[in-house]
């Protein structure tokens, strides 16, 4: 089997080492020695946008905030799903991930960062939500962890707790959507969403890539 080739390395703000690798047509991002994401696992990343944005297709001037750039698949699906007058902001904590998406990873998802509707915020998506005005967004889509339960990074707990969800509820317009990618549909996140004023649902999506056979989940909260 062909060995992995290291293309680039960078340090995240929390000190974790990120490594971008390639083997043939597959790209892999490794964090702290663990495989974080593969270019083959694009199905559920795209589903976060297609499912989350479905109800916004007819909404003029929709504004969408995406937490986590990854390999650009969620952003690309949002660009495909939204009309020309939409505005899409993607928050990415690690500057190097943005650089990689403009460089060696650019063609994987069709260069979505070059879409004129797209704006990049380099920093924590939690900080962007806290700074947002009331009713600023029509959708907030998060793919920054394994999901609400269990967390890989405890610093993300605020995003999925009642305080974070209430902030998300504040910055969404009526009928807006809060979507979360999750490794599984297990847990009680629906109750947490409801306690923050959302109508809750979960959509199961089969992974067809590197993690084939695993069913992931998209949690949705709709602002009443």
Which residues participate in catalysis according to the annotation? 143
Q: If phi over 0 gives left and psi between -120 and 50 gives alpha, with beta otherwise, what is residue 168? A: alpha
Alpha helices in the chain (DSSP H): 43-53, 73-81, 95-102, 125-131, 157-160, 162-171, 189-195
Nearest one of 220, 222, 223, 224 to 50, comparing CA atoms: 220
CA distances from 197 to 118, 128, 162, 164 (A): 29, 21, 10, 12
DSSP secondary-structure letter at 4?
A: P
Instruction: State residue 109 phi and psi, 5-degree precision.
Output: -105, 10
Spatial separation of the C-alpha atoms in residues 209 and 206, rounded to whole Å: 9
Of 193, 131, 204, the residue nearest 166 (C-alpha): 193
Q: Say if CB 7 and CB 23 are below 8 A apart.
A: no
Contact 130, 158 (CB under 8 A): no
């Amino acid at each position: 089997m062909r060995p992995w080739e290291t293309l680039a390395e960078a340090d995240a703000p929390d000190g974790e080492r990120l490594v971008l690798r390639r083997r043939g047509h597959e790209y892999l991002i490794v964090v702290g020695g663990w495989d974080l994401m593969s270019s083959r696992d694009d199905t559920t990343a795209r589903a976060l946008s297609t499912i989350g944005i479905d109800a916004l297709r007819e909404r003029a001037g929709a504004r969408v905030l995406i937490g986590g750039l990854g390999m650009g698949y969620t952003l690309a699906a949002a660009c495909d799903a939204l009309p020309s007058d939409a505005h899409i902001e993607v928050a990415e904590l690690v500057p190097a991930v943005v650089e990689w998406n403009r460089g060696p990873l650019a063609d994987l998802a069709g260069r979505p960062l070059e879409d004129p509707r797209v704006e990049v915020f380099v920093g924590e998506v939690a900080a962007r939500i806290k700074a947002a005005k009331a009713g600023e967004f029509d959708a907030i889509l998060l793919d920054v962890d394994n999901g609400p339960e269990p967390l890989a990074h405890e610093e993300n707990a605020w995003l999925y707790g009642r305080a974070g969800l209430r902030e998300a509820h504040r910055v969404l317009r009526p009928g807006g959507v809060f979507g979360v990618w999750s490794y599984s549909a297990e847990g009680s996140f629906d109750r947490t969403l409801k306690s923050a004023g959302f109508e809750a649902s979960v959509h199961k999506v089969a992974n067809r890539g590197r993690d084939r056979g695993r069913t992931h989940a998209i949690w949705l909260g709709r602002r009443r």
